[in-house]
Amino acid sequence: MSLPPGTKLGPYEIISAAGAGGMGEVYKARDTKLKRDVAIKVLPDEFASDSKRLARFKHEAQTLASLNHPNIAQIYGVEESNDVHALVMELVIGDDLSQRMGRGAVTLKEALPIAKQIAFALEASHAKGIIHRDLKPGNIKVCADGTVKVLDFGLAKTMISANAMSANAANSSTVSFATQEGVIVGTAAYMSPEQATGDPVDERSDLWAFGVVLLEMLSGKPVFTGETVSHVFASILTSQPDWTLPTNTPPVIRNLLRRCLEKDRKQRHDSAALARIEIEEALTAPSGDAMGVTEPRSSWSRALPWVLTGTLGIALFTVYLLWPPKPEQAKLTRVTLALSSANSLTIGGGTAISPDGRTVVFVARAISGTSIYVRKLDELEPRALPLTDGARGPFFSPDGRWIAFLRRDNLEKMPISGGPAQIVCQRRSVSGGRWRPDGMIIFGQWPDAGLWQVSSDGGEPRLISKPSGGNGVQRYRTPEPLPGDKGIVFTIFQEGRNSIAVLAPGSDKPRIIIESGSHPRYLSTGHLLYIADNHLFAVAFDVEHLQVRGTATVVVDDVNNGTADYDVSANGTLVYMTSTSPTAYNIVWKDRHGVSAPIVTQHRPYGSLVLSPDGEHFSVSISDGSSQNIWTGGIANQPLTRLTFGNDDYFGLWSRDGKRLFYTAGQNGSYNIFAIPTDGSGKAERVTQSPDPQKATSISPNGDTLLLNDIVTSTGEDIWELSLSRKESKPLIRTQFNEGAAVFSPDGHWIAYESDESGQVEIYVVAYPGPGSKRRVSLDGGTLPLWGHTGRELFYQTDSAMFAIPILDRNNLRLGTPVRLFAQTNSSTASISLNDQRFLMLERVEANKSFTRLNLVENWFEDLKTRVPTK
């Protein structure tokens, strides 16, 4: 189907044809709503008329839309209009790599940065379980500024076509055909051996295609050729590539190519991240090492330095006397800080560096719990600050003598040398804070919106600015004061996305200056730093006119989006935590002795694991670093299936009949409860409407009443009940303390919950619907209560062990003494089996020490000014 200029597809207006590909005609179009140009890929009629393939395509497009990465062309959505089915994508301007390679071999200096960005794109997609399947030069765009964009991620498997294979097989479009083993999808010359034989593909298939592309760039000729597709396949399966490469190709690149092009994928490179690191090693190595062989010199060129030595020596001595050398520039130094000799700390709660760049603080979890640790650069190991258990988000005072942090919803401060903590203000859930030279601390507040300030000596906070739309629309976070009282830059969280705004002095109306980003930091070099898509960006910033200048540049590849694990000292030392290895878990059964039996052994950043009422299925949230969604699986090691497609979806809770899942979703600036069919057959429906964050924790035996956690500033975390039939909610337990994790007993007559009213979190039980007084039932701390299905026990856990409380009398709930079942420090309880003999748990993978390194770069300002000019 051809679309002439001016054709309307929903809000999109066709401008011109832009080409054709294996998945249909491509057009340049204008988004009339957002006022931007996009690429429109119109699906072929034979594809769009197949309901099964079209449904599969839409599902894949939803998954691929989550790939938000600077080296991947973004998918904006699917448009259906006037019987036309189209994919709306980012419009990428530039030649594709096949056009560049058509002009001859790509030099090593040009090829390696291109290959690094391709590997970076594969690394991001593989982290989300998405395989490209059709990586080739025609799917790789090289923009004028050198940025690489990889196109058509994962769509090849949905584009199965019956087209005949081209006689020019090596350069054919994406081809696919049925085999007895399955379906072959890909472009012949770049297919892996397993694709050529119809076997299942995985990340290693992409690494093969990556190796072919890199080898073709450097050699200037095709790797696998043939007159027909069959001949090409025969070459892939039986022939070895021509390894003739430029003489200056580094050994690390030669080895990388050989590992990528191993025909036996068990021997093949399996990590795009490792490939990227090896390319970076070649790019950053000294020239003699990076570029391998040095060209031989003639006898005259070898003798010439000796002939000129006398003359040059006299001249240089004269120059030295007349123009003494400038002081040597401070050397850029990159180091990794050792955290502990036992390597037992798991980081992820914020980090900060003192103004003089000599002391780093960070939040980490050890066996004893979470605390703030201090690491001085002249000491070998960090030390834990006493009485900082549960703290997060630390930041320094301007003189470096104090740190402030959030703990138990209080903003506190403590001398860096140690000593008792002092409360600055209470019941304020701080979302990022900074300590100004005048002694004031400015901070965002959650769940309340707005920017606030309070004296570091204590007192009542004062509101600086608050969104006009109320708490449910926008939230202000992570403020950064500009020097000389020029204003404040900060993060605006709205509709599941972050942007950066500036608030001018005397104004209460901020102005957005960066559309996608968070956690800004202003530097004396004239740069603004911020985080987006797990990268640290730098851009020139005019502090006088409060305007961004020029284009932002990635200065650190991997930084944790969620907790802003980076900071910069006043003298130019950068500290940051990488985020390439989020905490990984297995899904396991644990018996009453603590012995584990795996259910799902694929290590991933799982969370909020819940067993279904029939005991045969479970739901679990999976984070990819930039978003979190809910998946479902079976305890018989069935494949996981994605259920939600939002940005922040978690805390699943099954309905009593197992047909719906209640969960928390972040939408329109609020976190409320939604429900979705567990078989994936319908859309999610909103259950609650509240400006306060909420999550469902339990459902009554009759399936009508939900217990909720509701978070407000005035009283903290409270327990509410919601009638699903009447659609009415009301507070059930609301005090000045934090209460949560409430669960119904099997008969619905009792509720167990946790509260911090005693100074630490303990488990309490109260009659439902009452009346009756509450009873504390845990011994020395306790969280996450669980009622046994048989009605004989109540379970809870601490940081170090699992406990069971015998129920001696069910009617009057007479309880025995808690009994310790097993030690556990690396797992969290989700549910209990129907016979009360096993616990479904997330077990942290000990081999994966996530966030166990601090990266530190000294004298970083000079490097930054070179890479990102401010003028």
Residues acting as catalytic residues? 134
Which residue shows structure tokens 């630490």?
Answer: 760
d(CA 854, CA 822): 33
Residue 15 to residues 75, 77, 154, 569, Cα–Cα distance (Å): 19, 19, 27, 49
d(CA 211, CA 190): 9
Q: In 311-321, which positions are buried (b, 16+ CB within 10 angstroms) versus exposed (e)? A: eeeeeeeeeee
CA dihedral over 243, 72, 680, 586, signed as positive or negative: positive
**Do 788 and 805 touch, CB atoms closer than 8 A?**
no
d(CA 123, CA 126): 5
d(CA 10, CA 575): 47
User: Going by C-beta distance under 8 Å and a sequence separation of 6 or more, which residues neighbour residue 81?
Assistant: 8, 9, 10
DSSP 164: P
**45: enclosing H helix or E strand:** helix 45-48
User: Going by C-beta distance under 8 Å and a sequence separation of 6 or more, which residues neighbour residue 211?
Assistant: 256, 257, 259, 260, 261, 269
Residue 483 to residues 351, 390, 436, 489, 663, Cα–Cα distance (Å): 22, 32, 9, 11, 43
d(CA 786, CA 802): 11
Q: In 705-736, which positions are buried (b, 16+ CB within 10 angstroms) versus exposed (e)? A: bbbbbbbbeebbbbbbbbebeeeebeebbbee
Instruction: Look at residues 868, 852, 857 and name the one whose alpha carbon lies nearest to residue 382.
Output: 852
Q: What angle is formed at CA 799 by the lines to CA 828 and CA 834, rounded to 5 degrees?
A: 40
* Alpha helices per DSSP H over 242-341: 251-260, 272-284, 287-290, 299-322
**854: enclosing H helix or E strand:** strand 854-858
Instruction: Look at residues 514, 529, 524 and name the one whose alpha carbon lies nearest to residue 567.
Output: 529
* Alpha helices per DSSP H over 87-202: 97-101, 108-127, 193-196
Instruction: Look at residues 717, 785, 792 and name the one whose alpha carbon lies nearest to residue 751.
Output: 785
Question: What's the distance, CA 635 to chain centroid?
Answer: 27
Instruction: Look at residues 725, 730, 753 and name the one whose alpha carbon lies nearest to residue 741.
Output: 753
Question: What's the distance, CA 728 to chain centroid?
Answer: 36
d(CA 220, CA 215): 8
CA dihedral over 9, 12, 18, 19, signed as positive or negative: negative
d(CA 496, CA 515): 13
User: Going by C-beta distance under 8 Å and a sequence separation of 6 or more, which residues neighbour residue 447?
Assistant: 429, 471, 475, 691, 692, 693, 711, 712, 713
Which residue shows structure tokens 């609301």?
Answer: 734
DSSP string, 469-538: T-TTT-EEEEEEEPGGG--EEEEEEETTEEEEEEE-TT-S--EEEESS-EEEEE-TTSEEEEEETTEEEE
Instruction: Look at residues 724, 703, 695 and name the one whose alpha carbon lies nearest to residue 656.
Output: 703
Instruction: Look at residues 483, 486, 484, 540 and name the one whose alpha carbon lies nearest to residue 513.
Output: 540
CA dihedral over 409, 412, 418, 419, signed as positive or negative: negative
3-state secondary structure of 614: coil
